[in-house]
């Protein structure tokens, strides 16, 4: 047998048997091309030998299946409908949902792909114009599989990025027209994964504005199970990620597969269970309102999708994706640099502010230890409410009382850095830009457009619009000497049409819009490498791995209520790491729910995010400013643990009394356990949990981060959380009970939701 072995043995190829095996740290992924050129997917799961695993893909004759002509009548058991395939194409006897569909010049959509060759490259492939994972270590490898149709001039390349140590495989596909006549690409999924059998549940993350990414676990029923977005953005309603897991799998045990799309536009994630219990999962651009015309020698490359396997349940998926996003998605300075503690003026003032008011807020924030002041909506054009001004990124000097440069200088004189809010992809009808370029707005000729928040979208698919925005944003960044930019988008896409494309190419508009947004962001990232960009879309409506390639943090939700955030950050954490989640301490009563919680509780929740403030500090008492300062000091002291530690969900927010989560140092030397009571009970339960991520053989000291919290506990609890010692083995197996206190009332007389932070540190005792 002939073998080809990749540089670090992540990719192994048996050329004689046409078997390709991908090996990561704990998983094996395998495919095989058979005698008729069909590329089988034979295995993905717990790491095993690179033997021929196709024997496990059982075939038998089944009624009403189609058999490829070349197999002959002696092989009635051979059908593309029942074979687990590496890439599936429409019209060739596979009646399941398929990854690839094209329409050729003669009108046919039938496609039969056959394996041709492979190529292994050192390093990770790139995707021009698209966000993608990268590798700076040189340890990753690329596999390219080439397929074609014997009768039609189409070539297909499957791209695999193998990150062996990270336990992640990335996928993308390239389609090429090798003929003289154009054809139309109607569907092109980035990732397809077939299982010959399985009894799975599917976790997806539905939601809505102010209630994003609520995990929903359902048994995979027969037929189609799908989630997606047709809003022109990845959306708050669904997230382009999912976890497929064995029905018996739990948070910490059992087999699970995680998927995340590195894309921020329309998407479709499909999981089909056929009547023989085979499973097919696809991830890609949503095919509705997608059609791409490929001229002679033209090509189309799909966005990237990521996948990982875990035999330690949901937690294993989260740990792998968290590490991978932190190390291979987030780029530039802010991959490792400490993020500044910021204050945003939005909930403090909304549109009602002056330059003097902003300076007062900055001075007060500086006293508390804040490092960055962010001026939100309302600083530009004719913008005193949300009905006008978008697109006119000229500072309103009458409102500010000075130029933008002068305001930035005055903010910096207080000791804070300066940042601004933008909504680049939108335009108001009442704006100078719209009056000058009405054709730049997304709308159908001859039809009144839909409005959302009184906004229209700018046609960012057009190069001249992209160039205008790059110039405008760059000018403001230089003028204000900005350290931070908040990039918002507050509406979904309707009236899809662009004047820049002919009628037979309007199906390209939505994807070109997304490519245009990425181009603008990449231009800013390249010209201003020190600039911290935070993504936002009415909160978390564009929270995805694609945006994280340009914006290392994203505003998780417009809902700033600490108790609501427990649920939102819980669901988000299943795929995305803590340091990507924009989280602020807001004023009370909370502006979304009217609930009052203590500064301690709000800070504990926000620390498991990027940490900042969303309030007017000039309205706080000196005692509250001092409390802010203490919480900021705590955040800075524990920054590496909070932002870079391994994240564990110990007690979910669906429990009766409290939510418990943990961040553990990767070397097992210490851990922080956070406890927040989300329900008010006259006799609250104390939740039991087991501490994760420590070393069994080491001893650890257990103490409260804030010693004053011990005064809320009874004597037995005080003894436990005041320096007691336990082994890592005991903490993992026997565990702890969450601190619990009697019902108490805060200064305002409103019942509080207490919070505790427990520090567990290695000790030689």
CATH code: domain of residue 138? 2.70.98.60
Q: Taking 90 as the threshold, does the pLDDT of residue 236 lie above it?
A: yes
Does residue 273 sit within a domain?
yes
What does the pLDDT average to over 157-186? 98
pLDDT value for 5? 56
Does residue 740 sit within a domain?
yes
Token reading at 434: 């719209």
CATH number of domain containing 659:
2.60.40.1180
Q: What secondary structure does DSSP assign to 571-614, as a single string?
A: HHTTTS-GGGEE-EEE-SS-TTT-----HHHHHHHHHTTT-EEE
Is the domain of 263 the same as that of 234? yes
| CB 761, CB 669: distance < 8 Å | yes
Is the domain of 209 the same as that of 292? yes
What does the pLDDT average to over 338-342? 98
* The 3-state secondary structure of 525-571, one letter per residue: HHHCCCCEEEECECCECCCCHHHHCCCCEEECCCCCCHHHHHHHHHH
| Greatest Cα pair distance in the chain | 86
Pairing assessment for the beta strands 658-664 and 646-651 based on DSSP bridges: antiparallel
pLDDT value for 748? 43
Dihedral, CA of residue 340, residue 345, residue 347 and residue 352, to nearest 10: -170
Is the domain of 306 the same as that of 352? no
Q: Which of left, alpha, beta for 303 (phi over 0: left; psi -120 to 50: alpha)?
A: beta
pLDDT value for 77? 81
Q: Taking 60 as the threshold, does the pLDDT of residue 747 lie above it?
A: no
User: Which residues in 376-416 belong to E strands, given as ranges?
Assistant: none
Closest to 318 measured CA to CA, from 661, 757, 582, 30: 661
Is the domain of 432 the same as that of 498? yes
pTM: 0.96
Say how far apart CA 295 and CA 489 lie, in whole Å.
Answer: 33
Pairing assessment for the beta strands 141-148 and 755-763 based on DSSP bridges: unpaired
> Rounded mean pLDDT of the chain?
95
Is the domain of 498 the same as that of 483? yes
Q: Taking 70 as the threshold, does the pLDDT of residue 745 lie above it?
A: no
Residue for token pair 């909504």:
423
3-state secondary structure of 486: strand
Does residue 77 sit within a domain?
yes
Is the domain of 214 the same as that of 339? no
The Cα-based distances of 33 to 16, 52, 60, 66, 96 in angstroms read 11, 11, 19, 19, 20
Active site residues: 544, 624
What residues pair up with 614 in beta bridges, in sequence order? 586
Per-residue pLDDT tens over the stretch 180-201: 999 999 999 999 999 998 899 9
Per-residue pLDDT tens over the stretch 296-330: 999 999 999 999 999 999 999 999 999 999 999 99
Does residue 665 sit within a domain?
yes
Is the domain of 394 the same as that of 438? yes
Question: Which of 555, 588, 609 represents a domain boundary (last residue)?
Answer: 555
Is the domain of 434 the same as that of 285? no
Does residue 577 sit within a domain?
no
Per-residue pLDDT tens over the stretch 212-224: 999 999 999 999 9
Is the domain of 291 the same as that of 374? no
Does residue 305 sit within a domain?
yes
pLDDT value for 742? 58
Say how far apart CA 653 and CA 641 lie, in whole Å.
Answer: 22
Lowest mean pLDDT among 90-94, 131-135, 586-590: 90-94
What does the pLDDT average to over 491-517? 97
Surface-to-core class of residue 449, CB atoms within 10 Å of its CB (0-12 exposed, 13-18 middle, 19+ buried) = middle
Token reading at 585: 């301490």
pLDDT value for 197? 87
Say how far apart CA 167 and CA 241 lie, in whole Å.
Answer: 17
Does residue 639 sit within a domain?
no
Could you tell me the residue range of the domain that residue 61 belongs to?
Answer: 3-328
Per-residue pLDDT tens over the stretch 350-390: 999 999 999 999 999 999 999 999 999 999 999 999 999 99
Say how far apart CA 122 and CA 107 lie, in whole Å.
Answer: 40
Per-residue pLDDT tens over the stretch 14-55: 999 999 999 999 999 999 999 999 999 999 999 999 899 988
pLDDT value for 162? 98
Q: How many CB atoms lie within 10 A of CB 27?
A: 24
Does residue 567 sit within a domain?
no
Is the domain of 354 the same as that of 238? no
CATH number of domain containing 396:
3.20.20.70
Per-residue pLDDT tens over the stretch 642-653: 999 999 999 999
| Residue predicted with more confidence, 374 or 765 | 374
Q: Taking 60 as the threshold, does the pLDDT of residue 751 lie above it?
A: no
Preceding peptide of 589 cis, ω within 30°: yes
Question: Which of 555, 590, 615 represents a domain boundary (last residue)?
Answer: 555
Question: Which of 523, 555, 587 represents a domain boundary (last residue)?
Answer: 555
Is the domain of 140 the same as that of 271? yes
Is the domain of 262 the same as that of 397? no
Say how far apart CA 472 and CA 484 lie, in whole Å.
Answer: 16
Domain total in the chain: 3
Residue for token pair 């060759």:
117
């Amino acid at each position: 047998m002939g073998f080809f072995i990749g540089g670090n043995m992540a990719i192994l190829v048996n050329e004689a048997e046409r078997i390709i095996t991908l090996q990561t740290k704990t998983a094996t992924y395998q495919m095989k091309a058979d005698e008729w050129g069909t590329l089988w997917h034979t295995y993905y799961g717990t790491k095993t030998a690179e033997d021929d695993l196709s024997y496990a893909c059982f075939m038998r004759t089944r009624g009403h299946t189609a058999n490829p002509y070349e197999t002959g009548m002696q092989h009635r058991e051979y059908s593309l409908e029942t074979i687990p395939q590496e890439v599936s194409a429409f019209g060739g006897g596979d009646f399941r949902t398929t990854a690839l569909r094209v329409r050729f010049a003669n009108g046919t959509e039938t496609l039969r792909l056959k394996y041709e060759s492979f190529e292994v490259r050192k390093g990770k492939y790139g995707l021009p114009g698209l966000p993608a994972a990268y590798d700076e270590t040189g340890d990753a490898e690329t596999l390219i599989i080439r397929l074609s149709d014997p009768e039609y001039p189409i070539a297909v390349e499957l791209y695999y990025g193998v990150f062996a140590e990270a336990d992640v495989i990335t996928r993308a596909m390239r389609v090429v027209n090798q003929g003289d006549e154009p054809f139309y690409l109607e569907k092109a999924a980035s990732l397809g994964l077939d299982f010959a059998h399985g009894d799975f549940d599917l976790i997806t993350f539905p939601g809505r504005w102010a209630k994003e990414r609520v995990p929903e676990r359902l048994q995979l029923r027969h037929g189609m199970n799908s989630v997606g977005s047709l809003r022109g953005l990845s959306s708050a309603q669904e997230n382009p990620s999912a976890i497929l897991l064995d029905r018996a799998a739990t948070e910490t045990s059992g087999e699970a597969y995680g998927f995340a799309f590195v894309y921020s536009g329309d998407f479709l994630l499909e999981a089909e269970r056929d009547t023989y219990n085979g499973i097919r999962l696809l991830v890609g651009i949503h095919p509705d309102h997608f059609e791409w015309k490929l001229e002679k020698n033209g090509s189309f490359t799909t966005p990237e999708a990521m996948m990982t396997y875990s035999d330690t349940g949901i937690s294993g998926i989260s740990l792998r994706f968290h590490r991978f996003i932190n190390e291979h998605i987030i780029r530039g300075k802010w991959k490792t640099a400490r993020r500044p503690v910021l204050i945003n003026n939005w909930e403090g003032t909304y549109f009602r502010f002056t330059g003097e008011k902003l300076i007062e807020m900055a001075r007060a924030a500086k006293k508390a230890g804040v490092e960055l002041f962010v001026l939100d909506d309302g600083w530009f054009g004719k913008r005193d409410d949300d009905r006008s001004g978008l697109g006119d990124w000229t500072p309103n000097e009458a409102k500010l009382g000075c130029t933008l440069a002068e305001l930035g200088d005055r903010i910096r004189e207080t000791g804070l850095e300066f940042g601004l809010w933008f909504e680049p992809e939108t335009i108001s009808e009442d704006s100078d830009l719209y009056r000058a370029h009405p054709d730049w707005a997304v709308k159908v000729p001859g039809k009144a457009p839909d409005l959302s928040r009184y906004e229209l979208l700018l046609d960012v698919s057009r190069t001249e619009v992209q160039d205008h925005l790059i110039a405008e944003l760059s000018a403001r960044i230089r003028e204000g000497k900005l350290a931070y930019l908040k990039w918002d988008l507050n509406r979904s896409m309707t009236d899809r049409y662009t004047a820049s494309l002919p009628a037979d190419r309007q199906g390209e508009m939505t994807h070109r819009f997304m490519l245009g947004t990425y181009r603008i962001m990449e231009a800013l990232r390249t010209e201003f490498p020190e600039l911290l960009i935070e993504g936002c879309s009415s909160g978390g409506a564009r929270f995805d791995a694609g945006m994280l390639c340009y914006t290392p943090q994203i505003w998780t939700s417009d809902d700033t209520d600490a108790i609501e955030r427990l649920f939102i950050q819980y669901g988000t954490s299943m795929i995305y790491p803590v340091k990507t989640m924009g989280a602020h301490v807001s004023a009370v009563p909370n502006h979304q729910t009217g609930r009052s919680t203590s500064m301690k509780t709000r800070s504990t929740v926000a620390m498991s995010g990027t940490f900042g403030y969303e309030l007017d500090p000039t309205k706080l008492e000196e005692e509250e400013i001092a409390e802010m300062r203490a919480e900021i000091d705590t955040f800075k002291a524990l920054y590496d643990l909070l932002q870079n530690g391994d994240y564990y969900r110990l007690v979910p927010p669906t429990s009766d009394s409290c939510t418990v989560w943990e961040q553990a140092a990767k070397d097992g030397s210490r851990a922080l356990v956070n406890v927040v009571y989300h329900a008010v009970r006259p006799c609250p339960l104390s939740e039991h949990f087991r501490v994760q991520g420590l070393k069994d053989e080491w001893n650890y000291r257990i103490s409260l981060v804030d010693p004053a919290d011990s005064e809320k506990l009874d004597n037995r609890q005080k003894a436990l959380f005041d320096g007691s010692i336990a082994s890592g083995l005991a903490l993992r197996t026997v565990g702890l009970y969450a601190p619990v206190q009697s019902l108490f009332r805060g200064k305002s007389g409103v019942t509080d939701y207490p919070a505790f932070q427990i520090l567990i540190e290695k000790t030689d005792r």
